[in-house]
Amino acid sequence: MTAQAPAAVITPDTFDFYNVRSLLTEDERQIQDAVARFVDEKVIPVIGHAFDEHRFPKELIPEIASLGLLGCNIEGYDCAGLNHVSYGLICQELERGDSGVRSFVSVQGSLCMYPILTYGNEEQRQRWLPGMARGELIGCFGLTEPDGGSDPGTMKTHAVKKGGDWVINGAKMWITNGTIADVAIVWAMTDDGVRGFLVEKDMAGYTSRDILRKMSLRASITSELFFDNVRVPEANLLPNVRGLKGPLGCLTQARYGITWGGIGAAIACFREALEWAKVRVVFKRPLSHTQTIQRRLADMSRRITTAQLLSLQLGRMKDEGRMHHAQVLMAKWNNVRIALDIARDARDILGAAGISIETHSIRHMLNLESVITYEGTETIHELIVGSQLCGTQAF
Ligand code: TGC
Ligand code: FAD
């Protein structure tokens, strides 16, 4: 008889209970680790203060760019050419720091560089993409209007062809990066349906201003854009798309990244609650020795684990070119919902300390109130998944 090797002792990782990391390639793990280091060393030390001051930490942009995080899943044009799983892991780590930092990267890459790449011509790509990858040129994405965001098909901003130019009138609201953008991707109604335009910051009649006094995403810039007879040359029209599928196609890219971002925010809050529960002594014993606190922490871990598996499978399907946009919506709905619930629960476990900006959970909780609304509200996501199942739209 041969002696059997003793069974290896397996202890689940606290923040990766099902060892989802073992399903990543070595390259993907290295990318995640590099961004995690950046977040630990450069983002987390400054972000609470930036949130408190209602200030986007613009000084991080050069390092975000030099790490290759802007438009990282684009091939060529000075972009890193990573796969979609890597892009997701980047969003996860950035949002572990703050949703505002992840928002900046989502908007630049998924909402601005993606449409220039996909719907633009070669001249537009050469003009904008390399500078945007280097963080020298910033973009914003204007779809939502003051009168509503869930139904962009009813937009009032319009563009009329006059001579060789287009003349745009209207307004956009709640636009991330608006006042720092060199170029706005503006979606406007024309006689030919919705079209996308590259509106440059110096164009006459185009102005922007910041929305102040937000209680959420305070370390991110959110703006209003105004178009008063803005003349845009034909060369700035995105030629290769017509209709709402243009902007909705961009949203699919950004929503995909947010599914991973939610995991990062959830892990940050879970970690904070767990560490607190181990050291906070109440009724003469650490909180972590009580049944209800253990149940709540176990439930956080369960929800994070489910979200990790959902996003990884989504990413693999995206990398294989077989992902449907309704699948992204289910994951964004699930992962942002679990993140928001975990953030609120973590805040409660911290007691009064949890209302201080010195702790992370309340900042994530407040940020996630935006994340569950933007890129389509949770209800809209549910309704789109519902329409996919039932074969009819209910909105
Ligand atoms: P519908 O008839 O359903 O579709 C029109 C065409 O678009 C196609 N399509 C999509 N394509 C790609 N991705 C998607 N997610 C798509 N959804 C639809 C569809 O196949 C169709 O194509 P075709 O060829 O037949 O013309 O259009 P609808 O008007 O009925 O759509 C309704 C609805 C609710 C789905 C849509 O309007 C919607 O998603 N509303 C939510 C709006 C929203 O999410 N806005 C986000 C603004 S940007 C933002 O929030 C940025 S936050 C940035 C940050 O800081 O991170
Ligand atoms: P509304 O459309 O007015 O919806 C209000 C409520 O009604 C929601 O609860 C919604 O779920 C519900 N509702 C709507 N329709 C139905 C229905 N048929 N049945 C049941 N319930 C319904 N937009 C951009 O274009 N670019 C950006 O960069 C951008 N950045 C943002 C940054 C921040 C911080 C925030 C908060 C928003 C940003 N947005 C951006 C806008 C965002 O996409 C919209 O806020 C979002 O799409 C919802 O639109 P709304 O706020 O007009 O809500």
CATH number at residue 319: 1.20.140.10
What sign has the CA pseudo-torsion 45, 259, 109, 215?
negative
Domain boundary among 199, 214, 236: 236
Q: What is the pLDDT along the chain (395 residues), one digit of tens a residue?
A: 556 777 778 889 999 999 999 999 999 999 999 999 999 999 999 999 999 999 999 999 999 999 999 999 999 999 999 999 999 999 999 999 999 999 999 999 999 999 999 999 999 999 999 999 999 999 999 999 999 899 999 999 999 999 999 999 999 999 999 999 999 999 999 999 999 999 999 999 999 999 999 999 999 999 999 999 999 999 999 999 999 999 999 999 999 999 999 999 999 999 999 999 999 999 999 999 999 999 999 999 999 999 999 999 999 999 999 999 999 999 999 999 999 999 999 999 999 999 999 999 999 999 999 999 999 999 999 999 999 999 999 98
Q: Is residue 312 part of a domain?
A: yes
Asked if 147 and 32 sit in the same domain, the reply is no
Asked if 71 and 144 sit in the same domain, the reply is no
Asked if 215 and 307 sit in the same domain, the reply is no
pLDDT single digits (tens) 241-267: 999 999 999 999 999 999 999 999 999
Minimum CA distance residue for ligand 2 atom 51: 149
Is the beta carbon of 242 within 6 A of some atom in ligand 1?
A: no
Q: Are 142 and 172 in contact (CB under 8 A)?
A: yes
In angstroms, rounded to a whole number, what is the distance separating the alpha carbons of residues 195 and 237?
A: 8
pLDDT at res. 147: 95
Minimum CA distance residue for ligand 1 atom 19: 245
pLDDT at res. 2: 58
Contacts of 59 (CB under 8 A, 6+ apart): none
Asked if 152 and 273 sit in the same domain, the reply is no
Minimum CA distance residue for ligand 1 atom 48: 375
Distance separating the N- and C-terminal Cα atoms of the chain: 69
Q: Residue 219: phi, psi to the nearest 5?
A: -95, 35
Q: Which of 203, 199, 208 is nearest to 180 (CA)?
A: 208
Catalytic pick among 95, 145, 224, 375 = 375
pLDDT at res. 228: 98
Q: Work out how many domains the chain is built from and give that number.
A: 3
Atom in ligand 1 nearest the alpha carbon of residue 383: 34
What sign has the CA pseudo-torsion 258, 45, 219, 370?
positive
Asked if 334 and 362 sit in the same domain, the reply is yes
Is the beta carbon of 365 within 6 A of some atom in ligand 1?
A: no
Asked if 219 and 275 sit in the same domain, the reply is no
Is the beta carbon of 325 within 6 A of some atom in ligand 1?
A: yes
41 in catalytic set: no
pTM of the model: 0.97
**Which neighbouring-strand residues pair with 193?**
190
Atom in ligand 1 nearest the alpha carbon of residue 384: 35
Q: Which long-range contacts (CB under 8 A, 24 or more apart) does 314-317 make?
A: 314/88, 314/256, 314/259, 315/83, 315/84, 315/85, 315/88, 315/256, 315/260, 316/85
Domain boundary among 178, 205, 236: 236
Q: Which of 91, 142, 115 is nearest to 266 (CA)?
A: 91
Is the beta carbon of 179 within 6 A of some atom in ligand 2?
A: no
CB hemisphere CA count around 194 (13 angstroms)? 18
Q: Which of 350, 352, 343 is nearest to 95 (CA)?
A: 343
